Structure 1
């Protein structure tokens, strides 16, 4: 059942209170949302006003380019997925009455609510067994019509697995992914976006991590026109632990966005957030917003988030906004960092002084910058494939930077 919209309004002052009186705009006494976790949530698209682009969650997004996903009707039917049978991993389509649906989170914005309202069945991935296992689940050619989807990943207590969600081909999709990590489970989820050039992908990932459990969440965004993947992780059990990694490479005209939220809601929980991106070409745009909330019930928290962006050419824009809220003083540590810049001239000079060409020196610097994320994935075949994809992006960087040929008379 969807929640009803709520707002908080403070009592209006009286005329005896130092002569204070209400403003003519009618908003006097309005109290805004106080913490990141207090945002309005609902699974019903009708509970959200039409998107204007002025909302906090949309103000950095090109909302006019995907109104069909925020306001239009969506195809919520099941779609084709490909995978190799793997012991300890079950893949099924389940009905909307499955008890796991809605157990982790709920939409905070209209596109996610539209997907939740529209999906017919959810793709359920269930992990059991204490042995390590890896599976790749591929979606390809979802078409160009607007689509809504829902996925559940459940790692049963003490289970271990790496789940790679591979997205390729054409798509216009808004979706929700719920991740349930049971007690002492160890789960890695990799979301890989290698869509075709015109694809639009809006995704919200909700995760709950249980007692002494661990979640590694990796977002890799390389293809697509607009890709917006927003992970939200609640460290719900004592001793819960998470690493959130992100890698993105924006080309000319691409918009790659990620809004990351970590909620420490249990004692002695730990989180690390590391996102890195590169930008090249006119109109390349990236957005990273990182929110960490250390709640009153989370003494002993250890948390750190960081975002780094490397600008390779002129005409790009990277927005990087870290936020940290702390509601208890009994923590081990908390911090955040953000940086956006161009190549380090000293690094380039050092490499060139040893006989390396400028173009190759630039590739080495970028490769080293992004490889930190790739090496954390833990799947050697996927790591090798992503290194090759980065090399392809860097070769196109050389083409972008190369001067246009001139005609000889």
Structure 2
């Protein structure tokens, strides 16, 4: 693997990517502390592709979502959970909605403006799940004919322990908001699987808020769809918060998969870890990973690290990886990041082939091992098995060609 960068603790503000070049000009990077957020669509101009948040995105293919007229029916949502977990469908005037941060881009604001009914899943105080909560989101060609908005709120009340899975399948053109409220002492694992059919467009903003000593494991798996763009935003409200952001993506020919993370350390003594891994194959496959971590002046004792790895399996695929770390105080436990994009590890292949394993099978083993650690952390055997099967299917498309 190549192009690895690391940043250790710095006693001044430090930004990994201070500016970017687009169309022959340089556009300065502004502090994430100044990031715009609003529930009003009019506060966000229609993106042109020159903006920092949209410079990697296929904005020409997102115009219907930018328009804000998200009147489609949307996918069908069903929920299976413990009897003690409360599942409600509420109107947009429910006071619990819109309490976890605010939209940070035009599509997120359009999603907020357009939804009519929201799904609220509440894990009660002190409850420990006997089984995971499965939220199945299934679209079809008919509902995908018009862009739609969807809103989900997951509340993990104090001292609860739970696992919630969002499972996206079928066809859709969807702008989605997922609010995640992890209250004091609660432990929540939330898994979002994007296994859409060809042609689907899914732009989602996950907004998470952590209370005192709260823990969130947030896992994103992106496999299908033409365009998938997820923007997880995380904030801490009290000391002791701990967030782990894990991601896995397999980007195929013609697909655009984009993951933009923002972790806002605004209180002392909180911890964040981000680890995203992706494989790419096929002409026009494009993955984007942007990791933004802001450590504000008052966030003493912060401990953070972010890592992105990309494995390019064939010619014609492109991976963009941009880790950003901004530090406003020197009184932290640690901060760093690393990013690498490359082809197969020749040493691993040599080791396997020297033990009699054919080259094509050796390549499969390398890719399986690349993803296995993250998949094993999901904690839902049926989901894990399905993901491994999906990866095997993807590998079967090109392993023979890649080995020649």
TM-score by length of 2: 0.89
Q: Which residue of 1 aligns with 2:349?
A: 348
Distance 1:277 1:315, change over 3 A: same
RMSD across aligned C-alpha pairs, in angstroms?
1.7
Q: CA deviation at 1:79?
A: 5.2
Tell me the distance in 2 between the aligned counterparts of 1:382 and 1:139: 15
- The answer on whether the counterparts of 2:68 and 2:111 sit within 8 Å (CA) in structure 1 is no
Secondary structure of the residue that 1:113 maps to in structure 2? helix
Whether 1:384 aligns to 2:382 is no
202-211 or 117-126, larger mean C-alpha shift: 117-126
- The answer on whether the counterparts of 1:210 and 1:240 sit within 8 Å (CA) in structure 2 is yes
Secondary structure of the residue that 1:93 maps to in structure 2? strand
User: What is the correspondence of 1:20-35 to structure 2 with a 5 Å cutoff?
Assistant: 34-35=30-31
Tell me the distance in 2 between the aligned counterparts of 1:362 and 1:402: 8
- The answer on whether the counterparts of 1:210 and 1:237 sit within 8 Å (CA) in structure 2 is yes
Q: Which residue of 1 aligns with 2:365?
A: 364
Tell me the distance in 2 between the aligned counterparts of 1:221 and 1:193: 5
- The answer on whether the counterparts of 1:149 and 1:176 sit within 8 Å (CA) in structure 2 is yes
User: What is the correspondence of 1:390-405 to structure 2 with a 5 Å cutoff?
Assistant: 390-398=391-399, 400-401=401-402
Q: Which residue of 1 aligns with 2:264?
A: 263
Q: Which residue of 1 aligns with 2:297?
A: 296
296-305 or 249-258, larger mean C-alpha shift: 296-305
Tell me the distance in 2 between the aligned counterparts of 1:375 and 1:328: 36
- The answer on whether the counterparts of 2:273 and 2:305 sit within 8 Å (CA) in structure 1 is yes
- The answer on whether the counterparts of 1:33 and 1:39 sit within 8 Å (CA) in structure 2 is no
Runs of 4+ in 1 over 6 A off after TM superposition: none
Distance 1:202 1:95, change over 3 A: same
Whether 1:237 aligns to 2:243 is no
Q: Which residue of 1 aligns with 2:4?
A: none
Whether 1:131 aligns to 2:128 is yes
Distance 1:399 1:88, change over 3 A: farther
Tell me the distance in 1 between the aligned counterparts of 2:401 and 2:395: 10
Q: Which residue of 2 aligns with 1:329?
A: 330
User: What is the correspondence of 1:4-403 to structure 2 with a 5 Å cutoff?
Assistant: 34-75=30-71, 80-128=76-124, 129-132=126-129, 133-142=131-140, 143-144=143-144, 145-398=146-399, 400-401=401-402
Tell me the distance in 2 between the aligned counterparts of 1:32 and 1:369: 35
Tell me the distance in 1 between the aligned counterparts of 2:188 and 2:254: 34
Tell me the distance in 2 between the aligned counterparts of 1:84 and 1:179: 18
- The answer on whether the counterparts of 1:166 and 1:194 sit within 8 Å (CA) in structure 2 is yes
Tell me the distance in 1 between the aligned counterparts of 2:72 and 2:173: 12
Tell me the distance in 2 between the aligned counterparts of 1:167 and 1:315: 27
Q: CA deviation at 1:76?
A: 6.3
Q: CA deviation at 1:34?
A: 4.6
Number of residues paired by the alignment?
373
Q: CA deviation at 1:292?
A: 0.5
90-99 or 61-70, larger mean C-alpha shift: 90-99
Q: Which has the higher contact order (CA 8 A, sep 6+)?
A: 2
Distance 1:32 1:361, change over 3 A: closer
- The answer on whether the counterparts of 2:81 and 2:134 sit within 8 Å (CA) in structure 1 is no
Tell me the distance in 1 between the aligned counterparts of 2:72 and 2:136: 18
Secondary structure of the residue that 2:333 maps to in structure 1? strand
Structure 1, residues 112-156: CA drift from partner, whole Å, max 9, x if none? Answer: 111111111211111114323411110112521201111111111
Secondary structure of the residue that 2:398 maps to in structure 1? helix
- Structure 2 residue runs without a partner (length 5+): 1-26
- The answer on whether the counterparts of 2:68 and 2:107 sit within 8 Å (CA) in structure 1 is no
Structure 1, residues 325-350: CA drift from partner, whole Å, max 9, x if none? Answer: 11111111010000000011121111
Distance 1:362 1:355, change over 3 A: same
Tell me the distance in 1 between the aligned counterparts of 2:174 and 2:344: 35
Tell me the distance in 2 between the aligned counterparts of 1:316 and 1:345: 19
Secondary structure of the residue that 1:83 maps to in structure 2? strand
- The answer on whether the counterparts of 1:77 and 1:121 sit within 8 Å (CA) in structure 2 is no
Q: CA deviation at 1:33?
A: 7.5
- The answer on whether the counterparts of 2:261 and 2:292 sit within 8 Å (CA) in structure 1 is yes
